[in-house]
């Protein structure tokens, strides 16, 4: 019987070495965010907190310079491949980064898109994001309650061609429903304060009877608020609505310069983006679409978003 005991003990030891141990194996995950604004800083901080709470995860981060920094993001993707990440969570700045992501997939990397998808790209493991069309509808439904038929509005676009930002405009128009408003001007802001200011100024100059401006992303809002103030329009005579609830929007809502914004939850995106990538690397099942939700911020509930 002794030899049987030795044999069984040996088998047990061999099996222990053969079985994978997730706790012992470091999983290197990359996170690439678009550009330096509070929204993406919050996302990155949440990802770092997730990694700190999961010692088996090694997190490598990178960030582009602007909302149009395509070459910068491609370089970051290539760097992640070189560094040997097993999973990559990325907020794609433009659909043209897809060929670089194809290289990542070819290298065996699980790619999780965060914040927005890439149309017709089949290489992603999952999409972790706000449903931007629904978020736009929330904005439109709010505007429907404060505007009347025939009112003129202007639209500050984000980066035309980026699906998430385009969906926010499409959704807003859908949210207006049967309210017939006149869109008298629109322009791309590339999600920057500077272009938010100049595009808003141009629309206001051409349309002195403008009643509202809707911005598809947060950074242009302070610029639009400045343009409205410079035009001598009182806060209570104009409607300003944004999307992201970031980059000075909370302060603008508190001061009355902005009426409402659709809030996303970047911390949730950061946490779930990394968690989804880790699960995919481990071979665990993941949802193809993870909706991180959205909500309307107004003066009535702004304290909940501080």
pLDDT given for residue 161 in this prediction: 87
Q: Decide: 160 and 166 in contact? Cβ < 8 Å.
A: yes
pLDDT given for residue 156 in this prediction: 98
- How far, rounded to the nearest angstrom, does the alpha carbon of residue 190 sit from its chain's CA centroid? 14
pLDDT (tens digit per residue) in 37-93:
889 999 999 999 999 999 999 999 999 999 899 999 999 999 999 999 999 999 999
How far apart are the two ends of the chain, measured CA to CA in Å?
Answer: 70
DSSP 95: G
Residue 188: pLDDT band with limits 50, 70, 90: very high
Task: Give the closest residue to 257 by CA, choosing from 290, 206, 223.
Answer: 223
pLDDT (tens digit per residue) in 92-114:
999 999 999 999 999 999 999 99
pLDDT given for residue 194 in this prediction: 97
pLDDT (tens digit per residue) in 123-148:
999 999 999 999 999 999 999 999 99
Q: Decide: 193 and 165 in contact? Cβ < 8 Å.
A: no
The whole-angstrom separation of Cα 95 and Cα 163 is 9
Length of the chain in residues, anyone? 306
SS3 content of the chain, % helix, strand, coil (to 5): 45, 20, 35
The whole-angstrom separation of Cα 269 and Cα 129 is 6
Rounded to two decimals, what is the model's pTM? Answer: 0.77
Q: Decide: 261 and 224 in contact? Cβ < 8 Å.
A: no
For residue 33, pLDDT beyond 70? yes
Cα angle for residues 24, 109, 103 (degrees, 5° grid): 150
Domain 27-129+265-292 and domain 132-263 have a common topology? yes
Of 269 and 17, which is predicted with more confidence? 269
Which residue is it, tokens 């370089």?
Answer: 75
Q: Is 173 helix (H, G, I), strand (E, B) or coil?
A: helix
For residue 20, pLDDT beyond 80? no
Q: Decide: 225 and 258 in contact? Cβ < 8 Å.
A: yes
For residue 283, with 0-12 CB atoms within 10 Å meaning exposed, 13-18 middle and 19 or more buried, which class applies? exposed
**Mean pLDDT across the stretch 192-221?**
97
pLDDT given for residue 3 in this prediction: 37
For residue 195, pLDDT beyond 90? yes
Beta-sheet strand order (sheet of 182-188): 182-188, 152-157, 212-215, 239-244, 260-263, 295-298
Show Cβ contacts of residue 270 under 8 Å, excluding neighbours closer than 6 positions: 31, 42, 43, 44, 45, 46, 47, 50, 114
For residue 13, pLDDT beyond 60? no
pLDDT given for residue 162 in this prediction: 86
Which residue intervals of 54-192 are DSSP H helices? Answer: 70-83, 98-106, 132-146, 163-175
Q: Decide: 229 and 257 in contact? Cβ < 8 Å.
A: yes
For residue 18, pLDDT beyond 50? no
pLDDT (tens digit per residue) in 146-175:
999 999 999 999 999 888 899 999 999 999
DSSP 270: H
* Domain 27-129+265-292 annotated CATH 2.130.10.10: no
pLDDT given for residue 257 in this prediction: 98
Mean pLDDT of the chain: 92
As a CATH number, domain 132-263 is 3.40.50.2300
E strand or H helix at 271, and its extent?
helix 266-282
Report, in angstroms and rounded to the nearest whole number, the Rg of the chain calculated over CA atoms. Answer: 23
Identify the bridge partners of residue 155 per DSSP, sorted by sequence position: 186, 214
pLDDT given for residue 23 in this prediction: 44
Can you give the residue ranges of every domain in the chain? 27-129+265-292, 132-263
The whole-angstrom separation of Cα 158 and Cα 252 is 19
pLDDT (tens digit per residue) in 2-12:
333 433 343 33
Q: Is 195 helix (H, G, I), strand (E, B) or coil?
A: helix
């Amino acid at each position: 019987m002794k030899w049987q005991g030795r044999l069984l003990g040996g088998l047990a030891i061999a099996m222990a070495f053969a079985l994978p141990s997730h706790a012992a194996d470091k999983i290197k995950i990359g996170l690439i965010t678009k550009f330096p604004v509070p929204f993406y800083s919050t996302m990155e901080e949440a990802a770092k907190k997730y990694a700190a709470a999961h010692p088996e995860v090694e997190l490598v981060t990178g960030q582009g310079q602007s909302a149009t920094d395509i070459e910068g993001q491609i370089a970051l993707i290539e760097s992640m491949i070189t560094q040997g990440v097993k999973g990559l969570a990325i907020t794609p700045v433009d659909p043209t980064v897809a060929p670089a992501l194809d290289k990542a997939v070819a290298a065996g990397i699980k790619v999780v898109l965060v914040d927005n998808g890439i149309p017709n790209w089949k290489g992603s493991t999952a999409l972790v994001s706000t449903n931007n069309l629904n978020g736009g509808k929330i904005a439109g439904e709010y505007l429907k309650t404060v505007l009347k038929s025939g009112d003129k509005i202007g639209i500050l676009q984000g980066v035309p061609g980026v699906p998430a930002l385009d969906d926010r405009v499409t959704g807003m128009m859908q949210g207006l429903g049967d309210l017939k408003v006149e869109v008298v001007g629109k322009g791309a802001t590339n999600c920057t304060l500077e272009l938010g200011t100049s595009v808003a100024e141009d629309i206001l100059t051409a349309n002195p009877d403008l009643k509202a401006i809707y911005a598809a992303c947060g950074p242009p809002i302070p610029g639009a608020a400045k343009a409205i103030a410079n035009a001598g329009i009182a806060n209570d005579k104009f409607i300003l609505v944004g999307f992201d609830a970031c980059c000075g929007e909370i302060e603008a809502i508190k001061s009355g310069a902005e009426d409402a914004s659709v809030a996303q939850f970047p911390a949730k995106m950061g946490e779930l983006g990394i968690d989804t990538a880790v699960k995919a690397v481990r071979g665990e099942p993941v949802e193809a679409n993870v909706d991180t939700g959205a909500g309307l911020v107004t003066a009535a509930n702004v304290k909940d978003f501080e």
